[in-house]
């Protein structure tokens, strides 16, 4: 379901299970878990910004090259070298923002390499991702053309690690100035008369690691120096985003919030990945995994809740007026790369487990809508928890893509208070009301072994009928392939009914369900 403006009440049911080792012990009890919810549909709150459903595209593996860019001479249908099928798929889920060019790649990227005639662009070594040659055929003009084709805002990551404030300042002028300056005229000579609008700029990426191995005190000074030279040319206003923490590095958040100051940034980032094993050397397989790794994947996904709460509390202590918002600009599942794929390309299959993890993450992010300004799943095509996989002219939509399709009804809607009043170890919920008065509720049944019987009480509107869609599968690792592209996809769902202010729905194990209540 991809309609933004349904003239009735929509309920998205997706639910999450709080996995602990004791609860995960195999049981002979296969009866549905009983869950009770309260959804206060008459108390709309913070807006769930569309940017919470953002994407991330790095020059990594086959994300850009083959995934987005095939070149103007390709036999694969394209518009100015950009894949038409990928653009159509991303437009369908209303992608609001795309972060580019990285990632670790960003702090070795020099924007001048990617402008002008492609045959004259320098060839560099991508030292982070596979030591392959980067021919720079996809640069500033191509990326911003891509953003215009899918109808999204660009989120540019500036090079702080190996770049200079001058280089960044020139790039901003090149992209956004409508003056008669040399840089603006150079842009015109390269084929773009009107300046672009650049809304979001990341000042460095993972500066605590691949972006420079900085300490938070040093990064704070570097941020202040670089941010001084972020200029707003007429018709364009840039929102500056500081490099934030790696997971549980709460000290980084505290130091940067203190030393940079709320007046000098709009957002601060957070990166958190779900690894089944928690071991970066042996993360676990994307398919062919045991149920124990399903359970640990869900547990580690749910940890995002505690991370957001703690980082937002630190931010509020330094910024009581909440002028700075959190940007979760890298999140998702991360497994060992597929056997036989290029080392360093981070290509992994995407299964029903990823759909469930995506539903949980998006519910958690929705419920923090008052403190989060953007979130970007990693990554868009052919890398990590991708929306889309491609192989030459073939394209397949992943289970994660289908979750984003179902959840897009939350974009721009008002968050509704929701609470699990019974069966708290089984369900997470997020709910919203859009501008037309339609209500959307998301729950995820992440149990691999048991269904969930959900009873939801709605305070507010009267509902008379219910219909819906479901994403589910029998196997733990059910996934879509180029030979079987529709193995996991939304299907009609009739397992719910409504009476008065009460909705009941039985959710199969490992399922994401979308209900529409009229």
Using the structure block, give the residue that is written with the tokens 């045991």: 290
Report CA dihedral (295, 298, 303, 305) to the nearest 10 degrees: -140
**433-439: which pairs have CB atoms within 8 A and are 24 or more residues apart?**
433/41, 433/44, 434/4, 434/5, 434/409, 436/5, 436/6, 436/7, 437/9, 437/461, 438/5, 438/6, 438/7, 438/8, 438/9, 438/10, 438/409, 439/9, 439/10, 439/11, 439/39, 439/41, 439/517
CA distance 516 to 384: 31
| Run of H or E including 9 | strand 9-13
Residue of 206, 222, 293, 516 marked active site: 206
Kindly report the number of other CB atoms within 10 A of residue 22's CB atom: 7
Q: DSSP E strands: which ranges in 417-501?
A: 418-422, 429-433, 439-445, 452-459, 466-472, 491-493, 496-499
What tokens appear for 176 in the block? 């956004």
CA distance 386 to 402: 11
Q: Is 293 a catalytic residue?
A: no
Q: Is 134 a catalytic residue?
A: no
- The gap between the terminal CA atoms of the chain, to the nearest Å, is 15
- Catalytic residue numbers, as ranges: 206, 330
């Amino acid at each position: 379901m991809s309609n933004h403006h349904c003239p009735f009440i929509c309920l998205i049911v997706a639910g999450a299970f709080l996995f602990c080792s004791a609860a995960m012990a195999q049981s002979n009890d296969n009866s549905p878990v009983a869950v009770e919810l309260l959804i206060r549909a008459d108390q709309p709150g913070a807006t769930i910004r569309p940017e919470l459903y953002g994407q991330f595209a790095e020059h990594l593996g086959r994300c850009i090259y083959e995934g987005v860019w095939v070149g103007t001479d390709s036999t694969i249908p394209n518009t100015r070298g950009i894949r038409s099928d990928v653009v159509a798929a991303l437009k369908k889920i209303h992608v609001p923002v795309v972060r580019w060019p990285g990632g670790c790649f960003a702090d070795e990227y020099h924007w001048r390499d990617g402008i002008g005639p492609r045959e004259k662009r320098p060839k560099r070594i991508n030292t982070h991702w596979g030591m392959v040659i980067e021919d720079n055929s996809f640069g500033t003009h191509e990326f911003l053309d891509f953003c215009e084709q899918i109808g999204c805002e660009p989120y540019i990551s500036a090079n702080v690690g190996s770049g200079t404030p001058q280089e960044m300042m020139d790039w901003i002028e090149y992209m956004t100035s409508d003056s008669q300056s040399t840089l603006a005229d150079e842009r015109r000579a390269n084929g773009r008369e009107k300046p672009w609008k650049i809304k979001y700029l990341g000042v460095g990426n993972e500066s605590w690691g691949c972006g420079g191995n900085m300490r938070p005190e040093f990064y704070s000074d570097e941020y202040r120096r670089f941010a001084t030279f972020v200029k707003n040319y007429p018709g364009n206003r840039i929102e500056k985003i500081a490099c934030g923490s790696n997971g549980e590095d709460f000290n980084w958040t505290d130091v940067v919030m203190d030393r940079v100051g709320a007046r000098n940034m709009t957002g601060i980032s957070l990166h958190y990945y779900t690894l089944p094993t928690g071991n970066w050397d042996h993360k676990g397989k994307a398919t062919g995994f045991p149920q124990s790794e399903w359970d640990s994947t869900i547990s580690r996904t749910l940890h995002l809740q505690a991370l957001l709460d703690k980082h937002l509390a630190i931010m509020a202590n330094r910024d009581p007026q909440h002028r700075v918002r959190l940007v979760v600009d890298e999140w998702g599942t991360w497994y060992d790369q597929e056997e036989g794929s290029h080392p360093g390309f981070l290509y992994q299959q995407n299964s029903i487990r990823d759909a469930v993890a995506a539903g949980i993450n998006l519910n958690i992010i929705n419920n923090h809508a008052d403190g989060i300004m953007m979130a970007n799943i990693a990554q868009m095509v052919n890398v990590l928890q991708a929306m889309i996989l491609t192989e030459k002219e073939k394209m397949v939509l992943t289970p994660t893509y289908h979750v984003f399709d179902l959840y897009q009804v939350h974009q721009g809607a008002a968050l509704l208070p929701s609470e699990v009043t019974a069966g708290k170890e089984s369900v997470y919920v997020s709910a919203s009301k859009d501008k037309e008065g339609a209500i959307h509720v998301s729950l995820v049944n992440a149990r691999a072994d048991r269904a969930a019987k959900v009873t939801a009480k709605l305070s507010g509107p009267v509902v008379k009928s219910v219909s819906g869609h479901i994403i589910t599968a029998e196997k733990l690792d059910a996934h879509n392939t180029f030979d079987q592209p529709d193995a996991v996809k939304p299907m009609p769902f009739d397992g719910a009914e409504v009476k008065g202010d009460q909705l009941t729905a039985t959710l199969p194990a490992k399922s994401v369900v979308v209900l529409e209540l009229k």
